[in-house]
Structure 1
Amino acid sequence: MRLVKLLAMASALTVLMASVAMAGPVFDRIQKEKKIRVGIMTDSIPGAFYNEKGEWGGFDYDMATEVAKRMGVEIERVQVNNKTRIALVQSGQIDLSVSNMTHTRERDKSVDFSLTYFFDGQKILSKKGQFKSVKDMVGKKIATMQGTTSEVNVRRALKEAGDPNYETNVISYQKESECFQALQNGRVAGWSTDASILVGYAAKTPGQFELVGDFLSDEPYGMAMPQDDSALRDAVNAAIQDMWKDGTYKNIYNKWYGPGTPFEMPLAGQIEMWP
């Protein structure tokens, strides 16, 4: 009986050692190469975008850069969009996606997420003075991004407002810039996505557009990464928390959303801190 117990313990120890040896393969590679590949958007103003000079920047851009710095590695920035940001993580082409992505339970089945690093909510943008609430937009076309939580939420909002054609009245586009263009050209009466994105695009033409009605949802953003790599997740979370603790987070936030900026939006939450 003693021999059986010893064999069982040895077997369990072997399994444990094997799991430890295999833990964190992505994090191990990042540390070995001293480089992290981060997916960042290119037309999500002011999250991450190219300005008039062709320079890449934005809140997510700065956050990703600072996370890499605090991990002690170089950053390789990779362009992503709403359709590719999860697929590239899953395929191993990027290690981290910092791309204004709402952390949902459904997405959590495909990738892991950091703690919430940005607090947003979904609204509708329309031409100034035309609408006051979602109910005023029943029967109107509303643009949104294909394959996003915004697409689901705005359909639900129109349905609850009594729109019998809530499915067909939501027009989905591939890019945020395409949504804004459709709104500018009058092909749609509104554009619905995260408020921070809407504020960014509205700032291009001051005084022409405004946010309509109440928030349609809460949108907690998380940084996406490969499943089951706790070492990577811990390193990213520690970097975010340290940025909040020493004031770097608020400096970056105020640079893009603070008082006096074109995208002014009060900070709506607080980073989760661990002792």
Structure 2
Amino acid sequence: MKKLSSLLVLSLTAGALLTGCGKNESAPSPQAAAPAPAAPTKIVIGLDDNFPPMGFRNEKNELVGFDIDLAKEAAKRLGAEVEFKPIDWSAKEAELNGKRVDALWNGLTITEERKKNIGFTTAYMENHQIIVVPANSAVKTKADLAGKVIGIQDGSSAIDAVQKDPVATSFKELKKFGDNVTALMDLTTGRLDAVVLDEVVGRYYTAKKPGEYVVLDDHFGTEEYGVGTRKDDTELLARLQKAMDDMKADGSAGRISTEWFGKDIIK
């Protein structure tokens, strides 16, 4: 019995050791993959609601415009609801990075300075900073702006474009306005000698009032429009980029452009 008992103890001990070794050598369970980022169900777009034909209010106080229609089409392709939120355009970066809006889509010019704080899609349109003067003005070129009062929208890329040009040092005053519409009204009443603004806006307004304004041949350079997101929101930026690429490829962007400008000016 004693011998049998000893054999039993040795057998149990060996089994325990083998069991322990088995546990130590077993492969670790695979770690679950991180879930993919959820697609946005709502996109809040910040805009200047007084920037026709890109985004503005019609006679029914509805937000309409070229960029409005582009954004609606992109959101539909993303399966997301879109909300348009009018903001102070001069504080657009604060609105974006403060997460009060998800994107800026309203004739937003791509600049190296803005790229430091904003993620941009590729450009979808080219634009110029044009000079608009009254029809009876003696101003015919940029050089003629010397000693004159020039109107410009505060917070717009037109400011940078003008200030980079040597002629800016000859202005009597560079007067800033909350929006281009007010600046053009002051031009009409004679409080300004010229207004520098985005070509898409200037052409829209001058076409509505034929014979009242003249657009000079000179301008303050060519720029490009893009859609802006927070720099760390790479997921939304990628989704918007794909939507825009698809819209260009299938002609949807060109169709919207033709509806607003009479031709396809999509870049």
Common fold: TM-score over 0.5: yes
The answer on 1:132 being equivalent to 2:132 is: no
Secondary structure (helix, strand or coil) at the match of 1:38 reads strand
Superposition deviation, residue 164 in structure 1: 5.0
Inter-partner Cα distance in structure 2 for 1:44 and 1:81: 12
- Which of these residues, 202, 213, 217, is aligned with residue 217 of structure 2? 213
Matching residue of 1:148: 156
Amino acid aligned to 1:93: R
Cα 1:106/1:232, change in 2 over 3 Å: same
The answer on 1:62 being equivalent to 2:69 is: yes
Amino acid aligned to 2:160: V
1:1-275 equivalences in 2 (<5 Å): 28=38, 31=40, 34-130=41-137, 131-157=139-165, 159-160=166-167, 165-166=170-171, 168-258=172-262, 267=265, 270=267
Inter-partner Cα distance in structure 2 for 1:236 and 1:209: 37
**Contact between 1:154 and 1:170, CA under 8 Å: does it hold in 2?**
no
Amino acid aligned to 1:89: L
Inter-partner Cα distance in structure 2 for 1:236 and 1:206: 38
**Contact between 1:155 and 1:170, CA under 8 Å: does it hold in 2?**
no
Amino acid aligned to 2:184: F
Inter-partner Cα distance in structure 1 for 2:93 and 2:132: 27
Superposition deviation, residue 129 in structure 1: 4.5
Secondary structure (helix, strand or coil) at the match of 1:206 reads coil
Amino acid aligned to 1:63: L
Inter-partner Cα distance in structure 1 for 2:99 and 2:111: 21
Inter-partner Cα distance in structure 2 for 1:111 and 1:199: 28
**Contact between 1:40 and 1:60, CA under 8 Å: does it hold in 2?**
no
Secondary structure (helix, strand or coil) at the match of 1:103 reads coil
Inter-partner Cα distance in structure 2 for 1:151 and 1:164: 13
Identity %: 27
TM-score, normalised via structure 2 length: 0.81
Matching residue of 2:18: none
Inter-partner Cα distance in structure 2 for 1:141 and 1:121: 20
Inter-partner Cα distance in structure 1 for 2:161 and 2:256: 29
Superposition deviation, residue 213 in structure 1: 2.5
Matching residue of 2:11: none
**Contact between 2:91 and 2:155, CA under 8 Å: does it hold in 1?**
no
Superposition deviation, residue 241 in structure 1: 0.8
**Contact between 2:48 and 2:106, CA under 8 Å: does it hold in 1?**
yes
**Contact between 2:48 and 2:88, CA under 8 Å: does it hold in 1?**
yes
Inter-partner Cα distance in structure 2 for 1:233 and 1:85: 17
Structure 2 segments unaligned to the other structure (5+ residues) = 1-30
TM-score, normalised via structure 1 length: 0.79
**Contact between 2:132 and 2:213, CA under 8 Å: does it hold in 1?**
yes
Report the RMSD for the aligned CA atoms in angstroms: 2.1
Number of residues of Structure 1 aligned to a counterpart in Structure 2: 235
**Contact between 2:66 and 2:260, CA under 8 Å: does it hold in 1?**
yes
Superposition deviation, residue 40 in structure 1: 2.4
Inter-partner Cα distance in structure 2 for 1:44 and 1:148: 11
Inter-partner Cα distance in structure 2 for 1:196 and 1:44: 9
